[in-house]
Amino acid sequence: MDGVIGFLQDLGPNLQLVLDRMPLILDGLQVTLLTTVLGALLALVIAFVFGLAQLSKVMIVRGVARVFVEFFRGTSLVVQLFWLAFVLPQLPYPLGFRLEPLLVGVLALGLNYGAYAAEVVRGSIGSVPKGQFEAISALSLSPARGMFRVVIPQAWALMIPSLSNLWIQLLKGSAIVSTVLLYDIFFQVEQLRDRTGTWFAYSFALLAYYLIAWLIVILMNGLEIRAKHQIGRGPALRTAWRSLFQAPGTTPSGGRTARVVRDRSVAASGTPMGGGLA
């Protein structure tokens, strides 16, 4: 049944099989999307908490954050997942408890990728020009106020491309949650494989992950365009929707997408177009 010939020969029946199993496959898709979205949200929270903690003036806070980040960055995702699923329930009372499989998956993905993202947050804040921090001091704004009103909004625009990368990696990493009894898309594909063979099943899986990754890319491109516009770099999202489908900041053959502005009144009303801080 395998091989290219087999793949082509059985394409019709196999597609029929996919249709028959669609309810299960959609269930799997839902689990994958859920772990990917919840895992990413948890990772984002962890990233900001531990990214900012690493910049704290208090040495102990910095130290704890550092150890946390290095621990979850430096240990394997699979091991973390298995530890949460199989070791945690065996710990003596009151430490041990059994978590729902979904929670195990979200927690492992969130902790692991959150640790990577914490480094992105820390790095991006370090990339905000020194003059911005000096202006905060010169206006006697408190460091916390300056961080949330001035520094983070600028760092956000810088960190999105890296966060986007990490989110796609998290999506792909989510395929291992099937090992702790979460019936995600990969689990359903494995079921499908029994009937269709490896060629069809894994090709179907590639396509499914590719399409989800694409959704993430479009969403993150949108966020990046918006964030850059808010710090005065690049056009507004409503005038530059086309660049959702290409990496922001690249200039296609047609020139900057901002030139696509049809409605002159929008341009005249003071919408910044292209340019930058120069």
| Closest to other proteins by CB, 137 or 198 | 137
CB burial of residue 263 (10 Å; 0-12, 13-18, 19+): exposed
141 binds other proteins (CB under 8 A): yes
**100 burial class (0-12, 13-18, 19+ CB within 10 angstroms)?**
exposed
Measured from the CB atom, the residue of 75 and 230 that comes closer to other proteins is: 230
* Residue 232 in the binding site for other proteins (CB under 8 A): yes
- Asked if 145 is part of the footprint of other proteins (rule: CB under 8 A), the reply reads yes
* Phi/psi of residue 216, nearest 5 degrees: -60, -45
Q: Which of 83, 157, 159, 79 is nearest to 117 (CA)?
A: 159
> Applying CB under 8 A, which of residues 13, 89, 249, 276 lies at the interface with other proteins?
276
Interface residue with other proteins, options 21, 230, 266, 267 (CB under 8 A):
230
Interface residue with other proteins, options 4, 60, 95, 277 (CB under 8 A): 277
Could you report how far apart the first and last alpha carbons of the chain are, in Å? 61
* Residue 38 and residue 106 in contact, taking contact as beta carbons nearer than 8 Å: yes
Residues 134, 206, 211, 246: which binds other proteins (CB under 8 A)? 134
Q: Does residue 231 belong to the site contacting other proteins (CB under 8 A)?
A: yes
**Residue 8 makes contact with other proteins by CB under 8 A:** no
User: Could you give the string, one character per residue 71-110, with x where binding to other proteins holds by CB under 8 A and - elsewhere?
Assistant: ----------------------------------------
Radius of gyration of the chain (CA): 23
In this structure, what DSSP letter does residue 271 have? Answer: -
Q: Which one, 213 or 266, has the nearer CB to other proteins?
A: 266
Q: Tell me if 201 sits within 8 A of 8, measured CB to CB.
A: no
The residue range among 29-37, 111-119, 178-186, 230-238 that interacts with other proteins, by the rule CB under 8 A, is 230-238
| Binding residues among 147-206 for other proteins as defined by CB under 8 A | 149-150, 153-154
With CB under 8 A as the contact rule, the residue among 90, 142, 253, 265 that binds other proteins is 142
Nearby residues of 94 by Cβ (< 8 Å), 6 or more positions away: none
CB of residue 238 to other proteins, shortest distance in Å: 16
Handedness of CA 179, 182, 185, 191 (dihedral sign): positive
Q: With respect to other proteins, which residue has the nearer C-beta, 98 or 149?
A: 149
DSSP, residue by residue, 135-165 = HHHHTT--HHHHIIIIIHHHHHHHHHHHHHH
Q: Which of 137, 198, 246, 251 binds other proteins (CB under 8 A)?
A: 137
Distance CA 28, CA 235 (A): 38
Q: For residue 38, with 0-12 CB atoms within 10 Å meaning exposed, 13-18 middle and 19 or more buried, which class applies?
A: middle
Query: Which among 21-29, 110-118, 218-226, 228-236 is the span making contact with other proteins, rule CB under 8 A?
Result: 228-236
When binding is defined by CB under 8 A, the residue of 233, 240, 243, 248 that contacts other proteins is: 233
Under the rule (CB under 8 A), what is the footprint of other proteins? 129, 131-132, 134-135, 137-143, 145, 149-150, 153-154, 230-233, 270, 272, 275-278
